[in-house]
A and B are shown apart, each in its own frame.
Chain A
Amino acid sequence: MSRVPSALLPLFLLVGAALPAAAQVDLTFDPARTRGPAQAAVTIVEFSDFE
Protein backbone atom coordinates (compact mmCIF):
# COMPACT_ATOMS: atom_id res chain seq x y z
CA MET A 1 0.00 0.00 0.00
CA SER A 2 1.60 3.23 -1.06
CA ARG A 3 1.35 6.52 0.66
CA VAL A 4 0.29 9.57 -1.20
CA PRO A 5 3.31 11.85 -0.84
CA SER A 6 1.70 15.03 -2.03
CA ALA A 7 -1.66 14.40 -0.43
CA LEU A 8 -1.60 17.15 2.13
CA LEU A 9 -2.37 20.61 0.89
CA PRO A 10 -2.32 23.80 2.90
CA LEU A 11 -5.51 25.52 3.85
CA PHE A 12 -5.34 28.86 5.59
CA LEU A 13 -8.44 29.82 7.47
CA LEU A 14 -9.21 32.96 9.35
CA VAL A 15 -10.96 31.54 12.36
CA GLY A 16 -12.95 33.94 14.43
CA ALA A 17 -16.33 33.26 15.91
CA ALA A 18 -16.59 31.10 19.00
CA LEU A 19 -12.90 31.29 19.74
CA PRO A 20 -11.40 33.58 22.37
CA ALA A 21 -9.72 35.63 19.71
CA ALA A 22 -9.60 35.60 15.96
CA ALA A 23 -6.70 33.52 14.84
CA GLN A 24 -4.98 32.63 11.63
CA VAL A 25 -4.70 28.88 11.64
CA ASP A 26 -2.84 26.89 9.05
CA LEU A 27 -4.53 23.61 8.27
CA THR A 28 -3.60 20.85 5.93
CA PHE A 29 -6.00 18.55 4.21
CA ASP A 30 -5.97 15.47 2.07
CA PRO A 31 -7.77 16.12 -1.23
CA ALA A 32 -8.94 12.50 -1.21
CA ARG A 33 -10.95 13.33 1.92
CA THR A 34 -12.97 16.14 0.43
CA ARG A 35 -16.26 16.44 -1.37
CA GLY A 36 -17.37 19.31 -3.54
CA PRO A 37 -15.58 21.84 -5.72
CA ALA A 38 -12.43 23.62 -4.55
CA GLN A 39 -13.93 26.98 -5.51
CA ALA A 40 -17.12 26.49 -3.53
CA ALA A 41 -18.57 29.54 -1.79
CA VAL A 42 -18.74 27.62 1.46
CA THR A 43 -16.09 25.30 2.86
CA ILE A 44 -16.90 23.10 5.82
CA VAL A 45 -13.99 21.53 7.67
CA GLU A 46 -15.22 18.69 9.84
CA PHE A 47 -13.12 17.32 12.69
CA SER A 48 -14.53 13.98 13.71
CA ASP A 49 -13.73 10.60 15.10
CA PHE A 50 -15.31 7.32 14.23
CA GLU A 51 -16.24 6.08 17.68
Chain B
Amino acid sequence: MRLIVKDLPLASHRLARQAAEAARCAGAEGRFWPYHDRLFAEQPRFAEDRLIAYAVDVGLDAETFGRCLTERRFAREVEADLVQARALGLRGTPAFLINGRVVMGAQPVETFRSVIDEALQRGPLPMGKP
Protein backbone atom coordinates (compact mmCIF):
# COMPACT_ATOMS: atom_id res chain seq x y z
CA MET B 1 0.00 0.00 0.00
CA ARG B 2 1.18 3.48 -0.76
CA LEU B 3 0.09 6.64 1.03
CA ILE B 4 0.41 10.06 -0.59
CA VAL B 5 -0.22 13.11 1.59
CA LYS B 6 -1.55 16.32 0.11
CA ASP B 7 -2.59 19.61 1.66
CA LEU B 8 -6.11 20.86 2.07
CA PRO B 9 -5.87 23.63 4.68
CA LEU B 10 -9.42 24.75 5.31
CA ALA B 11 -10.19 28.45 5.39
CA SER B 12 -11.99 27.92 8.67
CA HIS B 13 -8.76 26.72 10.23
CA ARG B 14 -6.88 29.97 10.64
CA LEU B 15 -3.41 28.52 11.14
CA ALA B 16 -3.67 25.49 8.92
CA ARG B 17 -2.20 27.04 5.81
CA GLN B 18 0.92 28.25 7.58
CA ALA B 19 1.28 24.85 9.20
CA ALA B 20 1.04 23.22 5.77
CA GLU B 21 3.72 25.54 4.45
CA ALA B 22 5.86 24.79 7.49
CA ALA B 23 5.59 21.06 6.80
CA ARG B 24 6.75 21.73 3.25
CA CYS B 25 9.75 23.61 4.64
CA ALA B 26 10.55 20.61 6.82
CA GLY B 27 10.12 18.32 3.82
CA ALA B 28 12.62 20.33 1.82
CA GLU B 29 15.13 19.41 4.50
CA GLY B 30 14.16 15.76 4.51
CA ARG B 31 12.18 15.94 7.75
CA PHE B 32 8.61 15.94 6.50
CA TRP B 33 7.35 12.88 8.36
CA PRO B 34 8.76 13.70 11.80
CA TYR B 35 7.43 17.25 11.44
CA HIS B 36 4.08 16.02 10.13
CA ASP B 37 3.72 13.73 13.14
CA ARG B 38 4.71 16.52 15.49
CA LEU B 39 2.13 18.90 14.04
CA PHE B 40 -0.65 16.39 14.50
CA ALA B 41 0.47 15.78 18.05
CA GLU B 42 0.46 19.50 18.83
CA GLN B 43 -2.55 20.75 16.90
CA PRO B 44 -3.86 23.41 16.98
CA ARG B 45 -0.92 25.14 18.68
CA PHE B 46 0.56 26.57 15.49
CA ALA B 47 1.77 30.05 16.37
CA GLU B 48 4.84 30.85 14.29
CA ASP B 49 7.27 30.57 17.19
CA ARG B 50 5.89 27.14 17.98
CA LEU B 51 6.19 26.01 14.36
CA ILE B 52 9.86 26.93 14.52
CA ALA B 53 10.32 25.23 17.89
CA TYR B 54 8.84 22.02 16.51
CA ALA B 55 11.27 22.24 13.60
CA VAL B 56 14.19 22.50 15.99
CA ASP B 57 12.84 19.55 17.93
CA VAL B 58 12.96 17.37 14.81
CA GLY B 59 16.50 18.43 14.02
CA LEU B 60 16.12 21.46 11.77
CA ASP B 61 17.95 24.75 11.96
CA ALA B 62 15.73 27.46 13.42
CA GLU B 63 17.06 30.32 11.32
CA THR B 64 16.89 28.46 8.03
CA PHE B 65 13.49 27.07 8.77
CA GLY B 66 12.16 30.41 9.98
CA ARG B 67 13.32 32.09 6.80
CA CYS B 68 11.55 29.49 4.70
CA LEU B 69 8.40 30.05 6.70
CA THR B 70 8.39 33.86 6.64
CA GLU B 71 9.24 33.96 2.94
CA ARG B 72 6.39 31.55 2.30
CA ARG B 73 8.55 29.56 -0.08
CA PHE B 74 5.98 26.81 -0.48
CA ALA B 75 2.80 28.85 -0.64
CA ARG B 76 2.40 28.02 -4.31
CA GLU B 77 2.70 24.28 -3.73
CA VAL B 78 0.08 24.34 -0.99
CA GLU B 79 -2.21 26.37 -3.22
CA ALA B 80 -1.72 23.83 -6.02
CA ASP B 81 -2.97 21.08 -3.73
CA LEU B 82 -5.99 23.20 -2.85
CA VAL B 83 -6.79 23.70 -6.52
CA GLN B 84 -6.57 19.96 -7.12
CA ALA B 85 -8.81 19.26 -4.13
CA ARG B 86 -11.40 21.68 -5.45
CA ALA B 87 -11.26 19.99 -8.84
CA LEU B 88 -12.11 16.77 -7.07
CA GLY B 89 -14.98 18.40 -5.23
CA LEU B 90 -13.33 17.92 -1.85
CA ARG B 91 -14.48 20.47 0.70
CA GLY B 92 -13.52 18.95 4.03
CA THR B 93 -10.74 17.09 5.74
CA PRO B 94 -9.62 14.46 5.94
CA ALA B 95 -10.55 13.26 2.48
CA PHE B 96 -9.12 10.17 0.86
CA LEU B 97 -8.87 8.69 -2.60
CA ILE B 98 -8.41 4.96 -2.36
CA ASN B 99 -7.49 3.79 -5.83
CA GLY B 100 -9.60 6.67 -7.05
CA ARG B 101 -12.59 6.10 -4.81
CA VAL B 102 -13.44 9.02 -2.56
CA VAL B 103 -13.82 8.47 1.18
CA MET B 104 -14.78 11.59 3.10
CA GLY B 105 -14.09 12.21 6.73
CA ALA B 106 -12.54 10.29 9.59
CA GLN B 107 -14.38 7.05 8.95
CA PRO B 108 -14.13 3.93 11.10
CA VAL B 109 -11.31 1.58 10.24
CA GLU B 110 -13.89 -0.93 8.98
CA THR B 111 -14.85 1.50 6.22
CA PHE B 112 -11.27 1.78 5.06
CA ARG B 113 -10.84 -1.97 5.25
CA SER B 114 -13.91 -2.49 3.10
CA VAL B 115 -12.87 0.06 0.46
CA ILE B 116 -9.33 -1.31 0.38
CA ASP B 117 -10.58 -4.89 0.02
CA GLU B 118 -12.79 -3.75 -2.82
CA ALA B 119 -9.86 -1.99 -4.45
CA LEU B 120 -7.77 -5.13 -4.20
CA GLN B 121 -10.53 -7.15 -5.84
CA ARG B 122 -10.81 -4.64 -8.66
CA GLY B 123 -7.14 -4.93 -9.39
CA PRO B 124 -4.42 -2.37 -9.95
CA LEU B 125 -5.12 1.33 -9.83
CA PRO B 126 -6.19 2.66 -13.25
CA MET B 127 -3.40 5.15 -13.11
CA GLY B 128 -2.04 6.77 -16.24
CA LYS B 129 1.60 7.13 -16.97
CA PRO B 130 3.23 10.52 -16.96
Chain B residues close to A by CB (< 8 Å): 1-10, 13-16, 19-20, 23-25, 27-30, 32-33, 36, 39-40, 43-44, 46, 64-65, 67-68, 73-74, 77, 80-81, 84-85, 87-90, 93-104, 116, 119-120, 123-130
Instruction: Report the bound CA distance from A4 to B129 in whole Å.
Output: 22
A-B contact pairs, 24 of them (CB 8 A): A1-B25, A1-B64, A3-B73, A8-B77, A9-B130, A12-B128, A18-B101, A19-B88, A19-B89, A19-B102, A25-B88, A28-B84, A29-B4, A32-B30, A33-B6, A34-B2, A36-B3, A42-B98, A42-B120, A45-B6, A47-B88, A50-B20, A50-B44, A51-B16
> Mask for A1-45, Cβ within 8 A of B = 1, else 0?
111100011111111111110011111111011111110111111
Contact residues in A for B116 (Cβ distance below 8 Å): 42
The residue among A12, A38, A50 with the most chain B CB atoms within 10 A of its own CB is A50
A34-B88 contact in complex given A48-B93, A49-B20, A50-B43, C-beta closer than 8 Å = no
Q: Closest residue to B88 on the A side, CB-wise? A: A25
Contact residues in B for A28 (Cβ distance below 8 Å): 80, 84
A3-B28 contact in complex given A47-B7, A48-B94, C-beta closer than 8 Å = yes
Interface secondary structure of B, over-half rule: mixed
Instruction: Report the bound CA distance from A47 to B103 in whole Å.
Output: 10
A15-B2 contact in complex given A27-B84, A50-B43, C-beta closer than 8 Å = no
Instruction: Report the bound CA distance from A3 to B27 in whole Å.
Output: 9
Contact residues in B for A48 (Cβ distance below 8 Å): 5-8, 93-95
With beta carbons under 8 angstroms apart, the residue of B89, B94, B128 that contacts A46 is B94
Asked whether B6 lies within 8 Å of A41 as measured between CB atoms, the reply is no
With beta carbons under 8 angstroms apart, the residue of A1, A44, A49 that contacts B1 is A44
